[in-house]
Amino acid sequence: MSGNRAVAYVGPGKVEVRDISYPELILRDGPGVNPLNVGRKCDHGVILKVVTTNICGSDQHMVRGRTTAPSGLVLGHEITGEVIEVGRDVEFIKKGDLVSVPFNIACGRCRNCKERNTHVCVNVNPDRPGSAYGYVDMGGWVGGQSEYVMVPYADFQLLKFPDKDQAMEKILDLTMLSDIFPTGYHGAVSAGVKPGTTVYVAGAGPVGLAAAHSAQLLGAAVVIVGDLNSERLAQARSFGCETVNLREHANLAEQIEQILGVPEVDCAIDCVGFEAHGHGHNHGEAPATVLNSIMEVTRAAGRLGIPGLYVTGDPGAVDADAKVGTLKIRIGLGWAKAHTFVTGQTPVMQYHRDLMMSILSGRAQIAKAVNATLISLDQAPAAYTEFDQGASKKFVIDPHNLVKR
Ligand SMILES: NC(=O)c1ccc[n+]([C@@H]2O[C@H](COP(=O)([O-])OP(=O)(O)OC[C@H]3O[C@@H](n4cnc5c(N)ncnc54)[C@H](O)[C@@H]3O)[C@@H](O)[C@H]2O)c1
Ligand SMILES: [Zn+2]
Ligand SMILES: [Zn+2]
């Protein structure tokens, strides 16, 4: 078969498009591949021709040099593609199927997978439970910001779109099923959003916007989105959210009171994570800001959904504690208010089929909410820079130029 091209992490602030080898149904050694995963046979896997693959805020943590990602790591965990080769042990997925790949890699055979906790599968990453394509410390599965990619455990993991032509019409929505739509939705579900609730969403990046749209789909009465980026807040207002500019207004509770008449919401979702900025002008990074502020503004007995990423190692952290993921969280306040916290990767497979149906029926408008923006593979390095500067866009790479412009 022919070659393959992919977006690779080079070093802090730098990614480039490189020639890499064409995938096989085996995990070969390469940058970031865990030695215990080298040579792992994947006859249960498929090769995909990538149709769309999105750039994520999670990639940015690596590209900003805020993780221990090795140079040469091929990026990309948000993958949608067409099956062009099936392994010997694949029974139900067929050549020609158009599929969404959950960003977590899951075996379908371990205790956690059997309990639907596919975000902490114990068989795919020798370092710890949980894995993803193209990500540091996740076992070394090759990323999918590329022309072709291998996906293991295909029968278990892949979500097949029922009709290819219909799917290509809505591909900018369906491409969000690999990660951010289920992630935003999981944030909203785990925060207990239901008809009539008031919700605060921290962060107006793609995940925050997906959480806000999900909260609307679940029937929230009012969705308030906070960020320091006015362009992203305007995007949130474009589909009916209230917004708080935390650069202009450092006191979140006061702003919530102006909107709701009370300084509290029923539930909150952290769509920021460990690179959080302090509120107000002239504030640098303050990694516990969002966790502490959502405890402050969420009512007693409320639930906090925390899809925002927190790490166990951050070379660029503000202090020695934060370098190992130890943050100054006011847990006494959360305890006093009897809050429930839900953290971790999203168990994508719990949600992706339902959300696909809500897209295909026209109910969910996720591409519009996150401002899906189509680019070529060669435009990816520039898109990384633009996204890092806070552009209010969710970049969708179309490596084979298959999507109608
Ligand atoms: N749990 C999961 O499975 C999962 C999946 C996808 C993404 N994520 C994580 O979700 C987070 C968001 O992803 P994204 O793609 O939207 O990232 P992003 O970087 O584009 O967006 C983060 C936003 O947070 C804003 N922000 C910074 N400090 C803030 C504060 N104190 N209050 C409110 N907003 C603040 C930034 O201005 C930015 O707009 C990231 O940490 C990402 O790694 C987790
Ligand atoms: Zn992602
Ligand atoms: Zn498993």
Q: Which domains does the chain have, with CATH numbers?
A: 5-179+348-397 (3.90.180.10), 180-343 (3.40.50.720)
pLDDT in the model for residue 235:
98
Question: Do strands 222-227 and 198-202 pair parallel, antiparallel, or not at all (unpaired)?
Answer: parallel
Q: How many CB atoms lie within 10 A of CB 274?
A: 20
Task: Give 272 Cα–ligand 3 centroid separation in angstroms.
Answer: 28
Give the whole-angstrom CA distance, residue 196 versus residue 322.
Answer: 37
Beta bridge partners of 372: 394
pLDDT score, position 282: 76
| Tokens 């959904």 belong to residue | 305
Return the residue whose CA atom lies nearest to atom 13 of ligand 1.
57
CB-proximal residues (5 Å) to ion ligand 3? 106-107, 110, 113, 121, 123
**Torsions phi, psi of 304, nearest 5?**
-120, 120
- The single-letter code of the amino acid at 194 is K
Pocket flag, ligand 1, residue 202 (CB < 6 Å): yes
Which residue's CA is the closest to the ligand 1 atom numbered 24? 203
Reported residue count of the chain is: 405
Instruction: Kindly give the distance from the C-alpha atom of residue 131 to the centroid of ligand 3, in angstroms, as a whole number.
Output: 10
Q: Say what the alpha-carbon torsion angle 272, 275, 280, 282 is, to the nearest 10 degrees.
A: -160
Which runs of E-coded beta strand occur in 87-211? 98-101, 148-151, 159-160, 198-202
CA 269 to chain CA centroid, Å, is: 14
Half-sphere exposure of 190 toward its Cβ, with a 13 Å CA cutoff? 26
Tens-digit pLDDT string for the chain (405 aa) = 579 999 999 999 999 999 999 999 999 999 999 999 999 999 999 999 999 999 999 999 999 999 999 999 999 999 999 999 999 999 999 999 999 999 999 999 999 999 999 999 999 999 999 999 999 999 999 999 999 999 999 999 999 999 999 999 999 999 999 999 999 999 999 999 999 999 999 999 999 999 999 999 999 999 999 999 999 999 999 999 999 999 999 999 999 999 999 999 999 999 999 999 999 987 899 999 999 999 999 999 999 999 999 999 899 999 999 999 999 999 999 999 999 999 999 999 999 999 999 999 999 999 999 999 999 999 999 999 999 999 999 999 999 999 998
Measured from the Cα of 293, ligand 1's closest atom is 31
- Cβ–ligand 1 contact at 394 (below 6 Å): no
pLDDT, position 1: 54
User: 105 C-alpha vs ligand 3 centroid, how far in Å?
Assistant: 8
From residue 15, give the alpha-carbon distance in Å to each of 6, 8, 70, 158, 398: 10, 5, 12, 28, 17
Q: What is the pLDDT of residue 2?
A: 72
Ligand 1 pocket, mutate which of 117, 133, 227 (most atoms under 8 A from CB): 227
Q: Residues of 143-177 as b/e, b for ≥16 C-beta within 10 angstroms?
A: bbbbbbbbbbbbbbbbbbbeeeeebeebbbbbbbb
Helix-helix angle 206-217:180-190, to 10 degrees? 60
Ligand 2 centroid–CA 52 distance in Å is: 13
Question: Is the Cβ atom of 226 under 6 angstroms away from ligand 1?
Answer: yes
Q: Closest Cα to residue 105, out of 72, 128, 81?
A: 128
Q: Is 174 left (phi over 0), alpha (psi -120 to 50) or beta?
A: alpha
197 lines ligand 1 (CB under 6 A): no
Query: Dmax of the chain from CA atoms?
Result: 63
Indicate the DSSP class of residue 71.
Answer: T
Helices (H) and strands (E) in the chain, counts: 15, 17
Regarding the beta carbon of 228 and ligand 1, being less than 6 Å apart is answered yes
Distance 76 CA to ligand 2 centre (A): 8
How is 214-266 classified by DSSP, letter by letter? HHHHTT-SEEEEEES-HHHHHHHHTTT-EEEETTT---HHHHHHHHHSSS-EE
pTM of the model as a whole: 0.98
- Say if residues 74 and 7 touch (Cβ distance below 8 Å): yes
Mutate to test the pocket of ligand 1, among 78, 209, 282, 309 (most ligand atoms within 8 A of CB): 309
